[in-house]
Amino acid sequence: MSGRVLVVTGTGTGVGKTVVTAAVAALALARGARVAVLKPAQTGVGPGEPGDLADVARLVPGVTGRELARYPDPLAPATAARRAGVAPVTPGEAARAATDLAADHDLVIVEGAGGLLVRLDDDGTLADVAAALDVPVLVVAAAGLGTLNHTALTTEALRTRGLECAGVVVGAWPAEPDLAAECNLADLPVVTGVPLLGAVPDGAGVLAPDEFLRVARHTLAAELGGEWHTPKP
């Protein structure tokens, strides 16, 4: 494996994983890197329908996308595969696909489905993919009330498994944040013990590619290729 691999997970469903994945990819591509995004399992999407990789490709022209399997039911991959009567993608298969992509890409981003411990098959999760690859995991979190607990649980699960957490990004920062969201910017690094690496605005996923790149640059931190700084409390 020659290229770098980054696993992206969320504290749950609908927190902005795909948009954050696209933002990280956009910044890397703008630096001249060869970038691939791997989606081991896409759920809730039928044959021929656009999934998460279609969103990434629209936002980041030039990125390589690879999807290993898709299941029509909007459920955990292991459950959705069982209901569809097909074999699930195993963590080992996902890790091998990432390794293959890394052979001719500078950065491979593996985007999970749901949270860190959602099952890909009956025996393994996205955490097992990260462990097999021995790569860091970027956690995408919600902005508002309740996110401190969810994010702390996710980062604690990573530490328990001996996995590196690259940091936390808020995946859908509201245009008019409430008190909880504002306080969470300062509190997230404290309760998780890892850096806050950005807050991508809600609605960024509908932008044109040039504008999306500009937003990514201003809302992700230098560790992810951007220029964002955590606001002072």
42 by DSSP, 3-state: which? Answer: strand
Check if 39 is active-site. yes
Closest CA to 186 of 137, 230, 126: 230
Cβ neighbours, 10 Å, residue 58: 16
CA separation for the pair 79, 81 (Å, rounded): 5
Closest CA to 20 of 233, 212, 231: 212
| Sheet of strand 196-201: strand arrangement | 64-67, 35-39, 107-115, 4-10, 137-141, 165-173, 196-201
Write down the residue that tokens 């690859």 correspond to: 133
Strand (E) positions, 87-158?
107-115, 137-141
CA separation for the pair 142, 153 (Å, rounded): 13
**Catalytic pick among 8, 11, 39, 200:** 39
Active-site residue set: 39
